[in-house]
Amino acid sequence: MNAPLPDVPDVRVVGLPQLTSGFDLVHRLDLPMHLKVHGALEPMVGERLADLAEAVSLNGRGGAHFPFAKKLRAVAKSAIRRGVRPVVVVNGSEGEPACRKDTVLLCRAPHLILDGALLAAEALGARQLAIAVTRDSTEASMREALAERGLSDRRGRGLRARVVRTPERMVSGEASSVVRAVNGGPSLPPGRKVRASDSGVAGAPTLLSNAETFAQLAVAARLGPHRYCNTGLTDEPGTTMLTVSGSVGRPTVLEVPIGTPLRYVMELCGAPPMPQAVLSGGYHGNWIDGLTAQGAIISRKALATAGGALGAGALLPIGPDTCPLGESLRVVNWLAAETAGQCGPCKLGLPAAAAGFSEVLGGGGPTSLEAVRQVTQAVRGRGACKHPDGSVRFIQSALQVFTDDLAAHVLSGGCGRPTQGVLPLPAPGYEEEGVPSGEKVAVDWTLCEGHGVCAELIPELIRLGPDGYPAVADATVPMHLRGRAQRAVRRCPALALRLEATATEQPAPTRRVLPRGGG
């Protein structure tokens, strides 16, 4: 199977829509339709906006669930202390194959996201707004939305706004990767932990949050705390967006009140009546066994109590006819290939864990199982970013939940069921969008005349400076931008642009397969 999810799956709503209001009228809410559906929005001063976010218990919806009010106040405090203008960044980078809820909002309700981002920018006194996206569809929608509002990246405007394209990779959505991409660098974690609220885009305090979070902020600002909190749970009010795939009739994005029974969500999407398990929180999340899932509800705290995780809102049930460990192995191999290659736990540990996991499923016996456990323990907590920890969490969860199947593989060489590939992964060849091309854009300054054609064709890599001449990012051209970079080279009127090879990197160490004798 292994069919990647469509950019914009079917959308369904449980109860009254908030984020998805108007979806039954048009496919995409342009600015006039957005105003008809949601109405105008009044700006708020900084402390009032923080109080609103606190009153509705608004947490980030990208997976970390960090309190938005706390982040907003931290950015404001840092900006005042340093005497600099902060920056607002919308993280719409959705590189996980099982997640599409942010893509749906970016494509169908872009102005709701912009409402929240502009509210925050106005409250903080920010003069720069960046929207990071991963797909052609989201990039086109957000560029159109900025144009509908008369926003651009030109100097002299009260607020400069731009769209930044990032590769469709797991590591591209991490906050530090997004900041690095907005700064003109590669979409990779920098390998050091620096809070964006202290030093983010161009070293300025940066408010970076997930696309759904900004949309939720806009809804709360219109409804007010009392009406917003009428939906959902007392300690987790409002609605949330979910992406449901796996063993279902068709992939679906849903808006549901927090507190909705997980069983009802599964039934609504056509999942088996009693799945073997439900993967909660996506490929950095946890498995919940089928029986426990029957009594769980959609809530960050409730899913954690059940052994799962809400994460970025991805839910993936698997039916009784497929091997759960075989399904997990496919994901583990993909996670190992998604390494940023910047630290040993990620570059060496994850491939070793994947090889060991495969050996266990191939009948490697108890020694191979113990070796996998040793590797995952060694990787955990030692990575330069969150990818190793999330990947190890997925592996350990599979080993803990599918104990009967694990025993069958370890002791008997298999469970007797095929691996049907129900967990979505990218289509073959997607790696071209996630790896650098090995080339950089270079300018011959003796020829450049400042025509600006290059900045129009590849704004992700080239921007016009104050003097009207191009400022080129010192970064390798990603494969998904290589065609446009070549076009910019060909169309330069002064023949001043070229692509040149970057310095050759040292070859990566050969992957070692775990020995049968242990770690």
CB distance 371 to 514 below 8 Å: yes
Half-sphere exposure of 451 (CA within 13 A, CB side): 15
Q: Does domain 21-227 have CATH number 3.40.50.10310?
A: no
Tokens of 24: 């039954």
- Residues of the chain whose pLDDT is less than 50? 430-435, 504-519
φ, ψ of residue 95 to 5 degrees: the values are: -95, 0
Neighbours of 508 (CB within 10 A): 11
Report the C-alpha gap between 296 and 289 in whole angstroms: 11
Residue 396: the pLDDT is 94
Task: State which amino acid sits at residue 457.
Answer: L
Residue 189: the pLDDT is 84
Nearest to 126 by CA among 91, 78, 172: 78
Residue 338: the pLDDT is 85
What's the CATH code, domain 324-428?
Answer: 1.20.1440.230
Nearest to 269 by CA among 296, 242, 288: 242
Neighbours of 512 (CB within 10 A): 10
Q: Give domain 437-501's CATH architecture.
A: 2-Layer Sandwich (3.30)
**DSSP state, residue 511:** P
Q: Does domain 234-318 have CATH number 3.40.605.10?
A: no
* Domain assignments of the chain as residue spans, ordered by start: 21-227, 234-318, 324-428, 437-501
Nearest to 248 by CA among 274, 265, 280, 271: 271
Nearest to 242 by CA among 170, 306, 299: 299
SS3 273: coil
User: Residue 468: which H helix or E strand, with range?
Assistant: none
Q: Which residues contact 385 (CB under 8 A, 6 or more apart)?
A: 171, 174, 176, 177, 189, 191, 340, 342, 343, 346
The predicted model scores a pTM of: 0.83
Residue with tokens 């090995």: 438
pLDDT digits (tens, 9 = 90+) for 46-67: 899 999 999 999 999 988 889 9
Residue 467: the pLDDT is 78
Residue 36: the pLDDT is 97
Residues paired with 91 in a beta bridge: 132, 210
Residue 432: the pLDDT is 40
Task: Please work out, in degrees rounded to the nearest 5, the angle formed at the alpha carbon of residue 433 by the alpha carbons of 215 and 213.
Answer: 10
Residue 504: the pLDDT is 41
Q: Largest Cα–Cα distance in the chain?
A: 71
Which residues of 2-94 form beta strands (DSSP E)?
10-13, 87-92
